Structure 1
Amino acid sequence: MDFEEFLSNFRLGETVLVEYSAYSRPELLFYDIVTYSKLPIVVDDLMDSLYEYYIRLKLAGINVEKLDSIKVIKTGGSKNVGNVIGKLELGKYVMNIGEYAKIMDKAGEPPFTNPVLGIHKLIFLGNILENMKLLKMISDYIGNESRVAFYFLNRDAIEKFSPAVSAMMEEIATSVIVLEGKTMVVKKAINEDLVGEKVPLLKP
């Protein structure tokens, strides 16, 4: 199965959890999603995670021009990449879903592919109550056919900080992908035929 076929298997309304280690290169998967998605892209950039991806891609000699025009919703941070259509203050992101929805309305006509970068950073800042609200918000969006969401999670960091939150995110997600080097392994999927599939990342 090639990457484009793989990406087409995810349905509107899905929340896909992308787990990666500290030694992985999640920016390559993000770049492939941006490149090959048949839907418009709206990125949730948590605490300058998009900038980190952008710089690593650029240092690797990859043409990052396409990232300059993608629509972005920022939460925290100060380094803008792409077309920032709205900003959320830290804290409000997990408590005011209405504010987030208003910004998403500026993105244009749905559906979208919605990469969410740096979700673990938000978890680090939250107390138990705030993290439960965050999980509730993620859960509430499942089935919302305005998007297919890809939540990028540093598994090494979150399992040391809060194994329970990590396990609950895996339970909530409709699909779970683990990034192993330059290969994705499907651990969970609505389409059970995908479980166990190993799909190589494309070379930019």
Structure 2
Amino acid sequence: MRMKLGEFLKEVGDGEAVLVEYSPLSHPELTFYSIVSWAKDTGRPVLIVDILDTLHVFKEQLRFMGYDTSFVDELPVVKEEGRVEEGRILGRTKVVEDLDIHLVSYGRIVKPFFDEVGDREVVVIVLGASKFLIPIQENPWLLERYFEKVVRAAMAKKGRISILFANVDLLNKYALQSWEESATRILRINKAGNVLHIKKSPRFSEIGMEVEV
């Protein structure tokens, strides 16, 4: 049984964290494009967290497929490392082991954005989430602090949903399973990038279903 991506997304509740898993050979940029389009159509503001130029990679893959990528130019972006600037850059922060420093820097950057959007539900899309974990995934203590301070804390914040794209082949078993435990929903992209498999959902009837991009 299949559903459209918009049908799946409209059921995602306030404060949820959706993990989108993909492999190096699949096409996650198609899902990214569809999520941004859905948010625009439903009047939800989008905030992009771009880790190590992943947004640029997604944009170029879409361009090679013949998509109009001009929409990227207007996306508000928090740049975490990387050199290629895409979208409307709100500020830059570094991937550092001290998560408190990182969160303070990130908070200062996004505060004006959230003040401006007010009470509207924001779709926060994190691109390259797995790359953030690579430097710390061999350290269980630092990894646990990441999920405590970043992932679980975000789930407690109302007025936003988080969608995190992760190349799971970059993660070790402990890091991947920690992600899967913390996420409220998990989608796995097929190789062609046009179908997602629901691996986890608070709506048990959805588990095992497919989602069309």
TM-score (norm 1): 0.91
Task: Tell me which stretches of 4 or more aligned residues in structure 1 moved more than 6 Å.
Answer: none
Q: Does structure 2 conserve the Cα–Cα contact (< 8 Å) formed by 1:75 and 1:93?
A: no
- After TM superposition, the structure 1 stretch with the greater mean CA deviation from structure 2, 74-83 or 118-127, is 118-127
Q: Aligned pair 1:100/2:106, yes or no?
A: yes
Corresponding position of 1:134? 146
The one of 1, 11, 14 equivalent to 1:12 is 14
AA of the residue aligned to 2:160:
R
Give per-residue Cα distances to partners, 1:80-112, cap 9 Å, x unaligned.
111111110221783332322222212232421
**Percentage of pairs with the same residue:** 25
The one of 169, 175, 182 equivalent to 1:172 is 182
Could you tell me how far apart the structure 1 residues matched to 2:189 and 2:156 are? 24
Could you tell me how far apart the structure 2 residues matched to 1:93 and 1:71 are? 25
Could you tell me how far apart the structure 2 residues matched to 1:189 and 1:104 are? 28
Could you tell me how far apart the structure 2 residues matched to 1:78 and 1:134 are? 24
Could you tell me how far apart the structure 1 residues matched to 2:104 and 2:14 are? 21
Q: Does structure 2 conserve the Cα–Cα contact (< 8 Å) formed by 1:75 and 1:88?
A: yes
Corresponding position of 1:58? 63
Q: Aligned pair 1:23/2:25, yes or no?
A: yes
TM-score (norm 2): 0.87
- Report the RMSD for the aligned CA atoms in angstroms: 1.6
SS of the residue 2:34 aligns to = helix
AA of the residue aligned to 1:75:
E
Corresponding position of 2:169? 156
Q: Aligned pair 1:2/2:4, yes or no?
A: yes
Q: How many residues align?
A: 198
Q: CA deviation at 1:119?
A: 1.2
Seen in structure 2, the aligned counterparts of structure 1 residues 68 and 92 have a Cα distance that, compared at 3 Å, is: farther
Could you tell me how far apart the structure 1 residues matched to 2:158 and 2:98 are? 21
Corresponding position of 2:196? 184
SS of the residue 1:12 aligns to = coil
SS of the residue 2:62 aligns to = helix
Seen in structure 2, the aligned counterparts of structure 1 residues 32 and 93 have a Cα distance that, compared at 3 Å, is: farther
- After TM superposition, the structure 1 stretch with the greater mean CA deviation from structure 2, 123-132 or 143-152, is 123-132
Could you tell me how far apart the structure 2 residues matched to 1:98 and 1:192 are? 37
Q: How does 1:31-70 map to 2 (within 5 A)?
A: 31-37=33-39, 38=42, 39-70=44-75
Could you tell me how far apart the structure 2 residues matched to 1:89 and 1:62 are? 31
AA of the residue aligned to 2:200:
K
Gaps of 5+ in 1: none
Could you tell me how far apart the structure 1 residues matched to 2:72 and 2:155 are? 26
Corresponding position of 1:87? 92
